[in-house]
Amino acid sequence: MALTFDDRDGVIWFDGEFVDWRDAKVHVLTHGLHYGSCVFEGQRAYGGVVFEQRRHHERLHESARILGFDIPWTVDELDAACEELLKKMNFVDAYVRPVAWRGSEMMGVSAQQNTIHVAIAAWEWPSYFKPEERMKGIRLDLAEYRRPDPRTAPSKSKAAGLYMICTISKHAAEKKGYADAMMLDWEGYVAEATGANVFFVHEGKIVTPLADRFLSGITRQTVIELAKKRGYEVIERRIRPEELHHFTECFLTGTAAEVTPVSEIADWRFTPGTISLTLLEDYMKAVQPK
C-alpha cells in the first residue's frame, strides 16, 4: 500500500519551525478549509536545487495578495526554508509544496483577524503521468466544467479553491480511462488541462492559448523561452476547439507534468513529434542545477 500523506517519516516546515511530519496539523475550523482562503505553489527540486524557486515564492506572495492577505515570511526566508527542508529530508530530486492559509480565529466569510499560516512539505514524486504513457502521448478528455471568467474569480492567483473544478474534471476523465482533461474557458476557447498549460504545433509553429484568463505557468514561460532559443515561432492566441484537427502535435507543461506529449484530446488525434520531444529534452536539461 502506498504511503498516505498524513503518515510519513520526516519533517515539515510549519510557521518557521521544523515539526515532525505527523504533527503538522490544522484545526477542523480553519478558515482556509471552509472558505478556500488558501494559496499554494508546486515546485520541483532537481539535483538538490528547486528550479525557479524565487519565482515560485514571489508568485505565492502575489497569490496571497490577490486573496487579500500578506504572507508573514519574506521570499528570502521561504527560499532558505525550502533549502533547509531538502537537506533535512535528504532529498535530491523531489516535489516541494509551499502553502499559505487563513487560520481559525474567526469562522465566517469575514476573517480579517485570522493568523496567516505557512507550511512547506517535500516528498519524492516521479513524473505526474506514467512514464510509458508520457512518451507515447497521454490521452485527455474534454472537461465538462470551464475556467471561470476572471471577473468572477481571481484567476491570476494560484488559489486552492480554483482547483475544485480541476479535481472534478480529472476524476471524471480517469473514470473514462483518460489521463487528464482539457478545459475550455467560459467563452468556449481552449484554456488548459486540469493542472498544466497546453501547447499545439501547426506547420512547424507552436500555438498556445493566450494566458490572460488563467495562470501562466512558470514551466509554460520556461518552455516558451526554450522554444524561441531553438528558433521556433511561438504564437499566443485564442484557440477554438474546432481548430484542433489542424494541429499535428500537442503537449502539456507544468511543474508536475514537466513537458508531456499528448496523443489525443476527446476525438482529436496528435502524434508526439520532433518539436514536443525536443522541448521535453531541452526542459529536462534546463532544470538541472548549473
Contact 114, 105 (CB under 8 A): yes
Of 44, 42, 40, 41, give the one whose Cα is nearest residue 284.
Answer: 44
Helix (H, G, I), strand (E, B) or coil at 50: strand
Distances from the Cα of 269 to the Cαs of 41, 120, 153, 228, 242, in angstroms? Answer: 32, 39, 32, 25, 13
| Cα separation, 11 vs 21, whole angstroms | 5
Residue 40 contacts by C-beta under 8 Å, 6 or more apart in sequence? 60, 63, 97, 98, 99, 100, 158, 160
CA–CA distances in Å: residue 184 to residues 25, 165, 205, 254, 264: 36, 12, 22, 17, 16
The DSSP result for 97-164, as a single string, is EEEEEE-SS--SS--TTPPEEEEEEEE----SS-HHHHHH-EEEEEPSS-BPPTTTS-TTS-BGGGGH
Q: List, by residue number, the catalytic residues.
A: 158
Partners of 100 in beta bridges: 39, 118
